[in-house]
Structure 1
Amino acid sequence: MVLTGAHYIYILFMLAILIIMIMKKDVIVPCILGIFCLGLFYTQSIPQATNAVFNALIVSLNELAPVILIISVMVALSKALEDNNAINYMIKPFSKIIKTPTTAFFVVGIVMFLLSWFFWPTPAVALVGAIFLPVAMEVGLPAIGVAMALNLFGHGLALSTDFVIQGAPAITGGAAGIEAAQVISEGMPLFWVMGIVTIAAAFYYLRRDLKKGMFKEELKQVEHVEIKSFNKKAKIATLLVLIGFALDIAAMYALNLKGGDATALLGGTALLLIVIINAMNHKKDCLDSVCKNVIDGFVFGIKIFGAIIPIAAFFYMGEVAPITSVLGEVLPAGSQGLLSDMGIALSQAVPLNKLAVASIQTVVGAITGLDGSGFSGISLVGSLASVFGTAVNASVGALCALGQIAGIWVGGGCLVPWGLISAAAICGVSPVDLAKRNFKPIMIGFVVTTIVAVFII
């Protein structure tokens, strides 16, 4: 495989993006310039290269639109449920089984994990943290322990797996040219190994410090809390949500709905629930309240993905269909896309092995998470998964999952201090202290998960 100038332009900007991420700077500018330079190389025209930048954003937006929509809709539903404390009511039964620091840690974590699958961690963390923090501290779990549970189960395990909304695997898989379902199925062992190992290590170190009396003074100041009662509307809203999503899950299995079809079912159900719950809560003001919830949801979605669209646009240009859509039939005969061509050339020139590939994928994924987003770099690891999978004849889906795990566990809100402010703030602890607590368990998780990856890719 002979590489052209376009391949070297693509490689150059990929390296530049990595370096800028290491410097903890935003990478939108190099992504835009990378698209422009590719357009200029192929068209030899500044106006057409300028058009390519905008058209590439349209392609990226079209690819990401379902993900943005479902996340926005789920956040809108959470806003509707906040109006009558329905989410608080959902959590109330769990508070009855919290009797020790151990049960507090895992109950908080599991509830956060389940809600994050449906509502994403950012809106879920405030709800779960506000309800469970006083209850957990009363039974001896310090605030930093609650923050760790919120972080590791929500921003780590739930966000990196993302089995329900499928935003993360859709982006990673899209950049690699495969379906989200393939990323999930082939990466399943890695998702659970990372989660179980990291959370177990984190709890071990927390429990050790509890036994040493490190949080003794903090826990002495905790006051007894009463669990408040809830009105009938909260109970009905809770029942409707549980029935609605339970029916969706049953339908997914019965009808074998996956990917876009499963997302559409969840999104449609959520929108209908928003209307029904607001009609129950606000009656004659229902129309305005539904509009407000939907606007709040989309503001959140665009805020999260506003920076991801131009970044993903550059990495999508490495695939045949997007670059053809933007620039026309510019690829030479026999080309399988810039990324696949590079993978073939790499396999011919460099004796890579599965250990090297898995290690590089983990390191690069972790580096891409340093910007504190977790999502801005997973297009890159998806692209690299395609390259490395071709180079060593490995599972592209598993490599996507490995890079996705590294990027999101670092940047999604578990390691970089500026990415875990929400959990730290709701628990009243320092983001830096929380990051320090998470660091060693996450590093242990990365090592074990990478080793396992070598054997399954």
Structure 2
Amino acid sequence: MHIVIQTSFFGEFMIQLTSLHFIYLIFILLVIAFMIYQKDTSLICILGIFIIGLAATGSIYQSVMGVFNSFAYAIKELLGTILIISIIVGMGSVLEKTGINKEMVRPFLRFIKTPALAYWIIGLVMMSISWFFWPSPAVALIGAIFAPVAIRAGLPALAVAMAMNLFGHGIALSTDFVIQGAPKLTAGGAGIPVGDVIRASVPLIIVMGFVTTITAYILIRKDIKKGLLKLEENDANDDMAVKYPLSLTARKWFAAIIPLIFVIDIYAMKIFKLQGGDATSLIGGTSLFILIIILIFSSKTNAIDEIINYLIEGLQFGFKVFGPVIPIAAFFYLGDEGFIKILGEFLPRNSTGLVNDLGLALSQIIPINKAFGAATLTTVGAITGLDGSGFSGISLAGTVGKIFGTAIGSGTATLTALGQIAGIWVGGGTLIPWAVIPVAAICKVSPFDLARKNLIPVVTGLAVTTLFAMFLI
């Protein structure tokens, strides 16, 4: 089936929408529908890959091969991200076992004297650590060390959890500037460089971050005055009696040197203009050497055996997080250059990819404008986060961003970044109760109470950020 639509983007250039385009579009809508009803989308994506392969090749065995090849392609594209997260989780486990993590944050504890200082210091430290180590390892570190001190300073445990959520799983995870796992997925779905998504996300996250965290702080102050947030009793155990494999002097040295090493990495990225995979490789390699050196000092003769154990622990975590992402990413990679690499040369001669073709056709059928595009991407991003993962569907946000950016004629990176921010703020650990469980558990509060308290600040932030994005597209 071929439908020819003329577009003004390229004068007399003709776009051919074939059955492949319509099948791809139908499955995008099915993925969105399943996400709305909080159902797993893996099976839909696998069926979509198979049916598109069958429509393209006309061969059952090639379609079956296409499903496997799409998974292999997705894993290949995501492997660097999975690996760096695995290494960093392994390194975080070593830091926790040796007690270095406690020494790294101990200097901040002396400043936490009031509820206001507790909220902002915990949030900013959580954000900084999450950029380098991801929020999951940072939760245990911040919660175990900062929560008792913050409560002692007058900040309720639920407010501590909100600060950790909004700054860590919100600001840090939705931008992911250092590890670049999130922008890698959305950029892949949009078919644009990772650096473009990162740059486009900077002004958006500044607005989102300020609006959300300030709104949350104002609401916390009001709830404390009204007695709606009560201060819990909590023992601020300094944990000095715990026996660590490193001396206190060694722990302090490592606590000072490790952040300095990562600062040097950031400086090297700027000097040598390292972005995307290169920046990821530098951080990953640095983290691996830090892990090895700490183990050599702490385990000595057992270091060789211990290294592989920590790497395995990290890899188990990495594939557990990205396991649900692989089939979804595999489907959305078909929308761009991945189609040819997975299935072969089966697109129309003048096609620029399924997503591009749909975007150009959409611009001729529906009067797309910047306001409509921004609102749609925020909605799509929020829908992708309903499964509580935050990552499983952001490839869809990239694909939809490419479609609308092409239809509008600009703003693909901004739309993609907006969808990424909305998806991760909703599903990455701020609004979905089962996604906030780690933070809720470490702060000893109800995950449902935490999600409810986060709702107004996050929704307000998304609304303001969407309006702001309309002027950037």
- What TM-score do the two structures reach when normalised by structure 2? 0.94
> Which residue in 2 is equivalent to 1:357?
373
Aligned equivalents of 1:11, 1:267: Cα separation in 2: 37
Residue 311 of structure 1 aligns to a residue in which SS?
helix
Q: Does 1:396 align with 2:412?
A: yes
Question: Would you say the 8 A contact 1:354–1:394 is kept in 2?
Answer: no
Specify whether residues 227 and 104 from structure 1 end up closer, same or farther in structure 2 by C-alpha distance, changes over 3 A only: farther
Q: Does 1:228 align with 2:240?
A: yes
C-alpha displacement at 1:249, in angstroms? 1.2
> Which residue in 1 is equivalent to 2:285?
268
Question: Would you say the 8 A contact 1:191–1:401 is kept in 2?
Answer: no
Higher alpha-carbon deviation: 223-232 or 292-301: 223-232
Q: Specify which of 56, 63, 71 is matched with residue 49 of structure 1.
A: 63
C-alpha displacement at 1:191, in angstroms? 1.2
Question: Would you say the 8 A contact 2:16–2:350 is kept in 1?
Answer: no
Structure 1 unaligned regions, length at least 5: none
Q: How many residues align?
A: 454
Q: Does 1:344 align with 2:360?
A: yes
C-alpha displacement at 1:243, in angstroms? 2.6
AA of the residue aligned to 1:50: V
> Which residue in 2 is equivalent to 1:255?
272
Q: Specify which of 270, 283, 298 is matched with residue 315 of structure 2.
A: 298
> Which residue in 1 is equivalent to 2:102?
88
Paired-residue identity, %: 50
Higher alpha-carbon deviation: 222-231 or 179-188: 222-231
> Which residue in 2 is equivalent to 1:241?
258
Q: Specify which of 207, 212, 215 is matched with residue 198 of structure 1.
A: 212
Question: Would you say the 8 A contact 2:126–2:168 is kept in 1?
Answer: yes
Structure 2 unaligned regions, length at least 5: 1-14, 242-246
Residue 413 of structure 1 aligns to a residue in which SS?
coil
> Which residue in 2 is equivalent to 1:452?
468
Q: Specify which of 385, 393, 408 is matched with residue 424 of structure 2.
A: 408
Question: Would you say the 8 A contact 1:361–1:403 is kept in 2?
Answer: yes
Q: Specify which of 115, 136, 144 is matched with residue 122 of structure 1.
A: 136
Q: Does 1:3 align with 2:17?
A: yes
What's the CA shift string for 1:45-91, capped at 9, x where partnerless? 11111010000011111111111111111111111111211011111
Alignment of 1:99-178 (within 5 A): 99-178=113-192
Question: Would you say the 8 A contact 1:83–1:281 is kept in 2?
Answer: no
Q: Does 1:424 align with 2:440?
A: yes
C-alpha displacement at 1:186, in angstroms? 2.0
C-alpha displacement at 1:258, in angstroms? 1.4
AA of the residue aligned to 1:242: P
AA of the residue aligned to 2:317: F
Higher alpha-carbon deviation: 80-89 or 357-366: 80-89
Aligned equivalents of 2:274, 2:373: Cα separation in 1: 33
- CA RMSD, Structure 1 to Structure 2 (Å): 1.2
AA of the residue aligned to 1:253: K
Question: Would you say the 8 A contact 1:159–1:168 is kept in 2?
Answer: yes
Q: Does 1:367 align with 2:383?
A: yes
What's the CA shift string for 1:390-435, capped at 9, x where partnerless? 0011211111110001000000000000111100010011110000
C-alpha displacement at 1:215, in angstroms? 3.3
Residue 123 of structure 1 aligns to a residue in which SS?
helix
What's the CA shift string for 1:78-106, capped at 9, x where partnerless? 11111211011111111100000000011
Question: Would you say the 8 A contact 1:318–1:338 is kept in 2?
Answer: yes
Specify whether residues 369 and 181 from structure 1 end up closer, same or farther in structure 2 by C-alpha distance, changes over 3 A only: same
What's the CA shift string for 1:165-196, capped at 9, x where partnerless? 11101110111111111001122111111111
Question: Would you say the 8 A contact 2:197–2:417 is kept in 1?
Answer: yes
Higher alpha-carbon deviation: 259-268 or 111-120: 259-268
Residue 299 of structure 1 aligns to a residue in which SS?
helix
Aligned equivalents of 2:116, 2:190: Cα separation in 1: 40
- What TM-score do the two structures reach when normalised by structure 1? 0.97
Aligned equivalents of 1:276, 1:342: Cα separation in 2: 51
C-alpha displacement at 1:227, in angstroms? 6.7
> Which residue in 1 is equivalent to 2:87?
73
AA of the residue aligned to 2:189: A
> Which residue in 2 is equivalent to 1:309?
326
Residue 368 of structure 2 aligns to a residue in which SS?
coil
Aligned equivalents of 1:451, 1:394: Cα separation in 2: 17
> Which residue in 1 is equivalent to 2:12?
none
What's the CA shift string for 1:255-287, capped at 9, x where partnerless? 121111111111111111111000001000101
